[in-house]
Chain A
């Protein structure tokens, strides 16, 4: 059983490393773009909710 466990962990990645990159070379710009779009949506929804739906809705407790 011991040998089986060892081979399972060894098999998790048994390919050759094709390219090794440094910390700052990792560049997931697609993820950044997606998060950026989410961020803009959230910011615009906040502006809409607060200024249009809340402050724009008639009489307010003063």
Chain B
């Protein structure tokens, strides 16, 4: 079989492009440290969240000087809590679950994006270096008031931070 030289060029360029795609994804995962949201959060009884060690105590909790945890329940049409305040320069781990139907969590202007499923804990960790305001919304249609399901995350300068919820 004769292969035209232009086709050879095209095959080579196409392979190079695919290698480039895989290379950038690998760089993101290994070099930058971008992770996928997985099932490492474990499972929970969605009918009994009130007595759960983590979800019976929603809000912001301090792990250490630079690491905070946010325990959040999504229940139509609200996030509990819907107003979150954390100090700048901190690492925040969100633990989220739903008590009724499948919800979503998208922190606008960031790459934080996950489903929130009854019975499953969605665990995502991110670093917030700079002060700023982020809105978050439910992006899985969850009922008649889905469009009102939103909240706000304030990243405030460390000296203005009001402390944890409890």
Mutual binders A and B:
yes
Please report A residues at the B interface, Cβ cutoff 8 Å. Answer: 23-24, 26, 28, 31-32, 35, 39, 42-43, 46-47, 50-51, 54-55, 57-62
What are 10 A-to-B residue pairs whose CB atoms are below 8 Å?
A: A24-B4, A32-B6, A39-B17, A54-B111, A55-B28, A55-B32, A58-B110, A60-B110, A62-B34, A62-B127
| B28 with A61: CB separation less than 8 A | no
Please report B residues at the A interface, Cβ cutoff 8 Å. Answer: 2, 4-6, 9-10, 13, 17, 20-21, 24, 28, 32-37, 91, 107, 109-113, 124-128, 132, 134
Seed contacts A28-B6, A32-B6, A54-B28; 19 additional CB < 8 Å A-B pairs: A23-B2, A32-B9, A35-B10, A47-B24, A50-B24, A51-B24, A54-B111, A55-B32, A59-B107, A59-B110, A59-B126, A60-B110, A60-B111, A61-B111, A61-B124, A62-B33, A62-B91, A62-B126, A62-B127
In the complex the two chains form, what is the Cα distance from A46 to B126 in whole Å?
24
| A46 with B24: CB separation less than 8 A | yes
**Given known A43-B17, A43-B20, contact A23–B107 (CB-CB < 8 A):** no
Q: Which residues of A contact B21 (CB under 8 A)?
A: 46
- Considering only CB atoms, which chain A residue lies closest to B107 in the complex? A59
Find B109's partner among A46, A47, A58 (CB 8 Å cutoff).
A58
| A62 with B28: CB separation less than 8 A | no
